[in-house]
Structure 1
Amino acid sequence: MELRRLGRTGLRVSAVGLGTMTWGRDTDEHEAAEQLKVFLDAGGSLIDTAATYSDGGALDIISSLLRDEVHRDDVVLAARSGVADGRVDASRRALLSSLDETLRRLGTDHLDLWLVQAPDPGTPVAETADTLAHAVGSGKVRYVGLANHAAWQVAQMATLLDGGVGLACTQTEISLLNRSSEHELIAASDALGVGVIGWSPLGRGVLSAKYRHSVPADSRAASPHLRGFVEPYLTASARSVVEAVATAADGLGRAPVEVALAWARDAPGVSSVVVGARTPAQLRGALAATDLDLPDEIRGALDEVTQAIAGG
């Protein structure tokens, strides 16, 4: 798997990262261990997690795997803080408390990448910036970034951190069902030297084409705690995109999930995309796209069919 430089930093991350949103809830420790092996065997390095995943259960599983399955230095460990009990809080107190708890549960003394999970209008941005700089200065964090922030907020933070620790990346949703980052965020990030990590490149699972005819009983859309996450993409316009992806996949002799992942992974300005699979088999299916380079005419056709919902 290709390793890519994250923005203008010296940090290199795998073009596909391993998401852990389901770990500790829908994915048990045994399945997580198998996922990690599949991911590392494919050449992956970036592991993405958050303090909120499974109420910290994902952190506990990662801790166990770092202790028993993989050397800490063989992975790039990224985690997000700034949301607790459904409330956004990017204050110094909340962020540093979350960082300490995250490190404790992970069983490591540092994160390679630490991101603020969401904008907090109740905290001065200078305070959040100072907190990020302090975390790097303390040695607990190597690089810092933002997640789910608008382009102007990324520019503001990058300016505040310029000349010091710097802003390594921004993380945002990117897929054929959500191209809103193309409006301003990717161009701004490129100009600022900030890397872009995309989450949910498979359109929250919808681009796998599993929902073309029904909602499988074991799918996210049938899950009480994930149904609301998937439903925004179970629309007529989304179905037209899924059909286009399926048609392209048929023509290439590949699976729809591979086409969708390859499109997002190689979108202009993208450093990496994070795939969160519930099972090892799902992860293998996605990582089969490692050797897939979409022909220009296929990418062009997919771009055209998705322009109508570019903000979706």
Structure 2
Amino acid sequence: MRTRRVGGSGLEVSRLGLGTMTWGGDTGLDAATKLLTSFAEAGGTLVDTAPAYGDGAAEKILGRLMHTVLRRDRFVLATKAGFGLKDGHHRINTSKKALLDDLAGSLRRLHTDHVDLWQVHAWGAAPVEETMAALDVAVSSGMTRYAGVCNYIGWQIGTAAAWQQAVPGRAPLISGQVEYSLLARRAEIEVIPALAHHGMGLFAWSPIGRGVLTGKYRNGTPRDSRGARDHLSWFVEPYLESRSRAVTDAVARAADGLGLSPAQVAMLWVRDAPGVTAPLLGARTAEQLQAYLGLDEVHLPEPIVKALDDVTGGPNQARTAAG
């Protein structure tokens, strides 16, 4: 699998990433083992996790597999901090203490002395200088090689990146992680330009539109889908409306003409979009993941890309400028 540099940093990652949000829940140890093995055999290196995934279960499974199945040094390991469950409620705490406590817990669960990329999971109420100071400590101590942010909007990325760039010796932000797909192109307005301005890479989560762009929901909600599960239906429902159906139909038509699946078309559109370092694939089974692993030499024809742009909101200005 080909690799890409993350922003202006020296870190290189596979241009597809493996997400672990369902690990410890819908994806058990056996399925996770097959996923990680298949991904590594295809040359994949980037694995993204978080303490919030399964309340630490995803990190525990990943840590176990990196000591029993595959070596830790085969992967670019990314995790997060500052977001999780407390007393049954989601909480965001980006104070320095909370972030560093989260990192210490992640390292224990992952059975490693460092991660390659440590990301603030969400913008919080703590002063930006306090949040960023935690990243400085983590990088300077060797607990992480690089630092990034997740789910920040444009002005938040600009504020945090500029703060880190203001004084030599602070840990630069090398990446931002945000939802980006044919059903969620908001990032093109401010997030992607902000990342580009500050020399940061983009990791796109839910590149298949939370599973909707596979086409599986075109005739209802399958029993074995995320949309049919009480704990995940909220995640899928926003994309089960008429506009999303029109986009899904357009992706399906393109797939028919190209001899690809709708999911492959949706992923390729994200993978090769301007500014994207890697889409993060949240496959629940090795069979789902396999469909994306043999596409290194496959690219969508330019007329198809433009048609999909048009049907999902209009031209991508970054693509237009590059052309």
Q: Could you tell me the TM-score, scaled by structure 2's length?
A: 0.94
Amino acid at match of 1:135: A
Whole-angstrom distance in 2 between the partners of 1:196 and 1:294: 20
Provide, for residues 69-105 of structure 1, a one-character-per-residue CA deviation record: whole Å limited to 9, x for no partner. 1111110000011013211100011000000001001
1:132-190 CA-to-partner distances (Å, cap 9, x unmatched) read 11110111011001100011111111111113321110000000000000001111111
Q: Provide closer, same or farther for how the CA distance between residues 207 and 113 of structure 1 changes in structure 2, counting only shifts above 3 A.
A: same
Tell whether the 8 Å contact from 1:23 to 1:58 is kept in structure 2 after alignment.
yes
Give the corresponding residue for 2:63: 63
Distance (whole Å) between structure 2 residues aligned to residue 251 and residue 243 of structure 1: 13
Report the RMSD for the aligned CA atoms in angstroms.
1.3
* Distance apart, 1:309 and its partner CA: 12
- Unpaired runs of at least 5, structure 2: 317-323
In the alignment, what sits opposite 1:155?
A: 158
Could you tell me which residue of structure 2 aligns to residue 81 of structure 1? 81
**Residue of structure 1 in register with 2:2 after alignment:** 2
Q: How does 1:118-267 map to 2 (within 5 A)?
A: 118-120=122-124, 122-162=125-165, 163=168, 164-267=170-273
Identical-pair percentage:
48
1:258 touches 1:292 (CA, 8 Å); kept in 2?
no
Q: Once the two structures are superposed, what CA deviation does each residue of 1:101-148 show, in whole Å capped at 9, x if it has no partner?
A: 01001100001000000110x210000111111110111011001100
2:320 is aligned to: none
* Secondary structure, counterpart of 1:307 in structure 2: coil
Task: Say which SS state the counterpart of residue 49 (structure 2) adopts.
Answer: strand
1-structure distance, mates of 2:178, 2:257: 30
Runs (5+) with no aligned partner, structure 1: none
SS of structure 2 residue aligned to 1:108: coil
The letter for the 2-side match of 1:89 is: N
Distance across 1 between alignment mates of 2:65 and 2:297: 27
Assess, with a 3 A threshold, how the Cα gap between structure 1 residues 267 and 28 changes in structure 2: closer, same or farther. same
Change in CA separation of 1:235 and 1:308 when aligned onto 2, cut-off 3 Å: farther
- 2:157 partner SS: helix
Amino acid at match of 2:118: W
SS in 1 for 2:173: coil
The partner residue of 2:114 within 100, 110, 116 is 110
Residue aligning to 1:40: 40
How far the C-alpha of 1:308 sits from its partner, in A, is 6.6
> Under a length normalisation based on structure 1, what TM-score does the superposition of the two structures give?
0.97
Is residue 174–residue 201 contact of structure 2 (8 Å, CA) maintained in 1?
Answer: yes
Where do residues 91-110 of structure 1 align in structure 2 (5 Å cutoff)?
Answer: 91-110=95-114
Instruction: Give per-residue Cα distances to partners, 1:28-82, cap 9 Å, x unaligned.
Output: 1111111011111221100000101111111111011100111111100000110
2:10 maps to a residue whose letter is: G
Total equivalences in the alignment: 309
Distance in 2 (CA, whole Å) between partners of 1:165 and 1:129 is 8
